[in-house]
Amino acid sequence: MNLPIVDLGALGLDGGAHVLVRLALDDCRPGEEIGVRGSHPDLVADLVTWCRTQGHQCVPRGDGGADAVVRRGSASWAAWVGAERSGHPDPHTDSAIAAHPPAAWGLAARGSAVEPGGPEPVFRLDVRDEIWTDRAGSLYAQAVAGQWNPASAIDWLDPIVHGREIERAVVQVMTFLVENEEAALVVPARFLGQVHPHFREIQQMLAVTIADEARHIEVFTRRATLTGSELALSTVGGRASLQSLLEEPDFAIASFLLSVMGEGTFVSLLGFLERHAPDPVTRRIARLTRQDEARHVAFSLAHLERHVQHEPGLRARLASAVERRHRALQGTAGLNDDVFDALVLLSGGAVSPDAVALGWQRVQQLQREMAEHRQARLGRLGFSSGEAETLSSLHTRNFM
Amino acid sequence: MCVVSLRPFVLGAVAYDPKVVTIWEGFKQWFADQGFAFDFVLYSGYEAQAEAHLAGHVDVTWDSPLCWVRTRRLAEAAGTRAHAIVMRDSDQDLTSLVLVRADSNLTEVSQLRGRTVAVGAVDSPQATLLPLAHLAGLGLEPGSDFTVRRFDVMVNKHGDHVGGERDAVKALVAGEVDAACVIDGNHLVFAKEGTIAAGAVRVLTRTAPFDHCTMTVLNGVDTATTDRFAKLLLSMSYDDPAVRPLLRLEGLKEWRVGRTTGYAPLEAAVDRLGFYGADGSILNDDYRRILAS
């Protein structure tokens, strides 16, 4: 049988010739040979050197027009010995997602062959049934397709024609929104680095959520200062309510409190602003951010629905988390009065008894809507209507 | 009463790089997993290691080729013998090169007369002693027929640190010297990392093959323990994920039974250049001065 010959032309080992040799050796089994020829003056000597570093054998000889013969060693296969396929990149393929991916898979791409050994980084969130949802991939795709540019998606030059008091109300609400979105950024960010990279779609969804919140913080801040105003007051009560979210170490409970209860409530609030804000800039911002928030809520509901199926006792843990948070916040003031009044004012649209009465009714309606929707989401997690009503009533008056 | 010795088999090695700690800690654990009590001592330089070996402070040393030469000479002067028991596959049949710029008009070794040749550290066997002795063998005496420009990086590490060779090659590429001496493997390393652009240099001459590092023991060390140590090393498989990272760090695919035939060129170079005496004494004045400083 003729020896396969690799012709390197004038290319030397000091210029990348080993790449062609390696490609040819890839088709060989250990012990099989290839011939190498070329016109580089140091070809054979450099080939001997390279083979020594790779565990191959090189014999300078002229079989069939070759300048040297390389016999493949076993070392270049070694990393494949015992290498384990780490699931599959397509999550819908059978066995694509491991129930408990080994720590040693670490940062390896899901579906890659993982050489055994190596570091075993600790990713605390490494149990499929505690974080996974089949919807993560499609929600991530929606999020990527729905990314909007604050500079172009909002016409910042649209006129603001309402009076100073109404504008002050808008600024107050924007100030409130910013600090809430900070919590919505920090909480998933804290968990993102704890997710085993095997659960890539969960990482991606958390990452894009964080990017969404970064953008929300930008546009709320820009709207607050659009007319030259200073930002309004950040209250102790508001920050205390959010602090209780930051301190929650359990991913399921944190997702539940932040997204199902908090961001879900914010979806109602942003819908309210989209309908009733006094200027087109604020209405546009509310519309864009509401769409993002709705996706965040859908993600959390999806993984919690699955989690509850695998761990029915989770519902009791979620319920007690709401009760615990309620007790912890009993000593705080709840929703900043200024925020509440601002919502009345901006949705009334004017400083007059009739306008305030209208705004008051709208805020009352908003609070009913918030509670109804919270109860509906709790129902999706398997809580009875009575449980849902009770838990909804215990949700922080700070909305988030 | 039976007294069981708790003393492990102790290896001496030189800490030429932080990875040395990783390597020997890893080997120590692996030996422990095989039921072999092993420990190591690190020296900051090879000369102290050789002297400690002769003094019986360690059972085996992981020697540079130059350290092997000195240990062998010291041992024989002391009436005993040194044995090269195990070495890496990558230690056998190496060569050193004298490189010149590709666009240089130097095509014959004799044309180096009156020129400047860059070498590694004063105690580098591969980048200084062997290539200088090679040129001397071709009729060009270092220092008189051509100027030697030394790059003394981490002297007393016997050239284990690649820095001296890299500096020599940089000087060649920059046009500061006419030729530079490097070991063949580093030539390809420097090309890969971009220190040498493809086609920028060519090989003017190449030394005869020589061997590099070895595990050295002296007469008097328990033979059974030494044999077990050697057999364990030789049993290490690159297919084993537990040792593969260590073998990668140490730069080998397999351990091989040691041999001394590959040290003849360096023995000759050491004599020709007056580096060590036949009794292992250090003769090179520059080296002695640096060691004393």
* A175 and A275, same domain (yes or no): yes
Q: Which amino acid is at A198?
A: H
Instruction: For residue A70, tell me if it sits in a domain.
Output: yes
* A12 and A85, same domain (yes or no): no
The rounded percent of chain B whose pLDDT value lies above 70 is 98
Residue with token string 């000087």: B171
C-beta separation of A180 from A243 below 8 A:
no
Put simply, the answer to whether A16 touches B198 (Cβ < 8 Å) is yes
pLDDT at position A399 is 82
Q: What are the chain B neighbours of A115 within 8 Å (beta carbons)?
A: 241
Judging by beta carbons within 10 Å of its beta carbon (0-12, 13-18, 19+), is residue A387 exposed, middle or buried?
middle
Instruction: For residue A353, tell me if it sits in a domain.
Output: yes
Instruction: Name the minimum distance, in Å, from the CA of A78 to any CA of chain B.
Output: 5
Q: With an 8 Å Cβ cutoff, is B253 touching chain A?
A: yes
Residue with token string 């879900």: A264
pLDDT at position A65 is 86
CB pairs under 8 A between A and B: 71
pLDDT at position A398 is 76
Name the residue among A16, A49, A75 with its Cβ closest to that of B184: A49
Name the residue among B89, B90, B188 with its Cβ closest to that of A13: B188
Put simply, the answer to whether B198 touches A82 (Cβ < 8 Å) is no
pLDDT at position B169 is 98
Q: What are the chain A neighbours of B191 within 8 Å (beta carbons)?
A: 13-15
pLDDT at position A329 is 82
Instruction: For residue A137, tell me if it sits in a domain.
Output: yes
C-beta separation of A156 from A226 below 8 A:
yes
pLDDT at position B3 is 52
Angstrom distance (rounded) from CA A51 to CA A124: 43
pLDDT digits over B49-79, tens only? 999 999 999 999 999 999 999 999 999 999 9
pLDDT at position A1 is 57
* A296 and A237, same domain (yes or no): yes
What's the maximum distance between 2 C-alpha atoms anywhere in chain A?
A: 103
Put simply, the answer to whether B184 touches A116 (Cβ < 8 Å) is no
Q: With an 8 Å Cβ cutoff, is A16 touching chain B?
A: yes
Put simply, the answer to whether B185 touches A52 (Cβ < 8 Å) is yes
Put simply, the answer to whether A46 touches B89 (Cβ < 8 Å) is no
The mean pLDDT value for B124-150 works out to: 98
Instruction: Name the minimum distance, in Å, from the CA of A92 to any CA of chain B.
Output: 31
Q: Which amino acid is at B25?
A: E
pLDDT at position B1 is 47
pLDDT digits over B80-89, tens only? 999 999 999 9
Q: With an 8 Å Cβ cutoff, is A82 touching chain B?
A: yes
Taking the C-alpha atoms of A368, A373, A376 and A380 in order, what is their torsion angle to the nearest 10 degrees?
-160
pLDDT digits over B202-228, tens only? 999 999 999 999 999 999 999 999 999
Decide if pLDDT at B4 tops 60: no
Decide if pLDDT at B2 tops 70: no
pLDDT digits over A149-165, tens only? 999 999 999 999 999 99
Give how far the C-alpha of residue A180 lies from the chain's centroid of Cα atoms, to the nearest Å.
18
Q: Which long-range contacts (CB under 8 A, 24 or more apart) does B183-186 make?
A: B183/B94, B183/B95, B183/B96, B183/B97, B183/B126, B183/B127, B184/A45, B184/A46, B184/A48, B184/A49, B184/B94, B184/B95, B184/B96, B184/B97, B185/A49, B185/A52, B185/A53, B185/B90, B185/B94, B186/B127, B186/B162
Phi, psi of B180 (to 5 degrees): -145, 145
Q: What angle do CA A104, A108, A112 make, to 5 degrees?
A: 110
Domain boundary (A77, A98, A113) is at A77
* A383 and A275, same domain (yes or no): yes
The rounded percent of chain A whose pLDDT value lies above 90 is 88
Domain boundary (A89, A122, A155) is at A122
* A282 and A203, same domain (yes or no): yes
Q: What CATH number should be reported for the domain holding residue A205? A: 1.10.620.20
* A90 and A181, same domain (yes or no): no
* A355 and A216, same domain (yes or no): yes
Please list, in sequence order, all residues whose beta carbon lies within 8 angstroms of the beta carbon of residue B205, skipping any fewer than 6 positions away.
B97, B98, B109, B134, B135, B138
Angstrom distance (rounded) from CA A371 to CA A390: 10
pLDDT grade, residue B46 (50/70/90)? very high
Instruction: Name the minimum distance, in Å, from the CA of A378 to any CA of chain B.
Output: 49
B178: its two tokens: 């006419």
Give how far the C-alpha of residue B290 lies from the chain's centroid of Cα atoms, to the nearest Å.
19
C-beta separation of A132 from A199 below 8 A:
yes
* A102 and A152, same domain (yes or no): no
Write the CA distances from A5 to A67, B113, B201, B244, integer angstroms.
10, 41, 27, 31
Instruction: For residue A399, tell me if it sits in a domain.
Output: no
C-beta separation of A43 from A68 below 8 A:
yes
Q: Which amino acid is at B278?
A: A
Is pLDDT larger for residue A64 or for residue A319?
A319
A251: its two tokens: 């991913």
pLDDT grade, residue A331 (50/70/90)? confident
Decide if pLDDT at A62 tops 80: no
Q: With an 8 Å Cβ cutoff, is B196 touching chain A?
A: yes
Please report the residues numbered 25 through 64 in chain A whose beta carbons come closer than 8 angstroms to any beta carbon of chain B. Answer: 41-42, 45-46, 48-50, 52-55
Instruction: For residue A255, tell me if it sits in a domain.
Output: yes
* A41 and A133, same domain (yes or no): no
Average pLDDT, chain A: 94
Angstrom distance (rounded) from CA A262 to CA B120: 67
What is the count of structural domains for chain A?
3
Domain boundary (A77, A95, A112) is at A77
C-beta separation of B89 from B244 below 8 A:
no
Q: What CATH number should be reported for the domain holding residue A47? A: 3.30.110.40
* A250 and A297, same domain (yes or no): yes
Q: Which amino acid is at B204?
A: L
Instruction: For residue A226, tell me if it sits in a domain.
Output: yes
C-beta separation of B33 from B20 below 8 A:
no
* A148 and A175, same domain (yes or no): yes
**Dihedral-angle region of residue B115 (phi above 0 means left; psi in -120 to 50 means alpha; beta otherwise):** beta
DSSP state of A70: E
B136: its two tokens: 């001397």
User: By CA distance, what is B90's nearest residue in A?
Assistant: A52
Name the residue among B202, B241, B253 with its Cβ closest to that of A115: B241
Q: Which domains does chain B have, with CATH numbers?
A: 9-91+211-272 (3.40.190.10), 96-208 (3.40.190.10)
By three-state DSSP, how is residue A255 classified?
A: helix
The mean pLDDT value for B285-290 works out to: 96
Q: What are the chain B neighbours of A114 within 8 Å (beta carbons)?
A: none
User: Residue B215: beta bridge partners?
Assistant: B62, B86
Q: What are the chain A neighbours of B238 within 8 Å (beta carbons)?
A: 55, 74-75, 78
Q: What angle do CA A61, A67, A71 make, to 5 degrees?
A: 65
3-state secondary structure chain B: CCCCCCCCEEEEEECCCCHHHHHHHHHHHHHHHCCCCEEEEEECCHHHHHHHHHCCCCCEEEECHHHHHHHHHHHHHCCCCEEEEEEEHHHCCECEEEEEECCCCCCCHHHHCCCEEEECCCCCHHHHHHHHHHHHHCCCCECCCEEEEECCCCCCCCCCCCHHHHHHHHHHHCCCCCEEEEEHHHHHHHHHHCCCCCCCEEEEEECCCECCCEEEEECCCCHHHHHHHHHHHHHCCCCCCCCHHHHHHHCCCCEEECCCHHHHHHHHHHHHCCCECCCCCECCHHHHHHHHC
Decide if pLDDT at A55 tops 60: yes
By three-state DSSP, how is residue A36 classified?
A: strand
Instruction: For residue A400, tell me if it sits in a domain.
Output: no
The mean pLDDT value for B196-200 works out to: 92
Is pLDDT larger for residue A325 or for residue A285?
A285
Residue with token string 């990713």: A123
Q: Per-residue b/e over A114-141, b at no fewer than 16 CB within 10 Å? A: bbbeeeeeebebbbbebbbbebbbebbe
Put simply, the answer to whether A49 touches B187 (Cβ < 8 Å) is yes
pLDDT at position A77 is 85
DSSP state of A279: S
pLDDT at position A334 is 65
Give how far the C-alpha of residue B193 lies from the chain's centroid of Cα atoms, to the nearest Å.
22
What's the maximum distance between 2 C-alpha atoms anywhere in chain B?
A: 78
The mean pLDDT value for A193-209 works out to: 98
pLDDT at position A2 is 79
pLDDT digits over B90-134, tens only? 999 999 999 999 999 999 999 999 999 999 999 999 999 999 999
B158: its two tokens: 């016997």
Name the residue among B198, B203, B239 with its Cβ closest to that of A42: B203
Q: With an 8 Å Cβ cutoff, is B136 touching chain A?
A: no
Angstrom distance (rounded) from CA B288 to CA B292: 6
pLDDT digits over A243-258, tens only? 989 999 999 999 999 9
* A97 and A162, same domain (yes or no): no
Put simply, the answer to whether B90 touches A52 (Cβ < 8 Å) is yes
Q: What are the chain B neighbours of A78 within 8 Å (beta carbons)?
A: 238-239, 244
Is pLDDT larger for residue A81 or for residue B264?
B264
C-beta separation of A114 from A198 below 8 A:
no
A244: its two tokens: 């209780």
pLDDT grade, residue B8 (50/70/90)? very high
Domain coverage including residue A22: 5-77
Name the residue among A53, A79, A117 with its Cβ closest to that of B185: A53
Instruction: For residue A91, tell me if it sits in a domain.
Output: yes
pLDDT grade, residue B201 (50/70/90)? very high
Is pLDDT larger for residue B7 or for residue B196?
B196
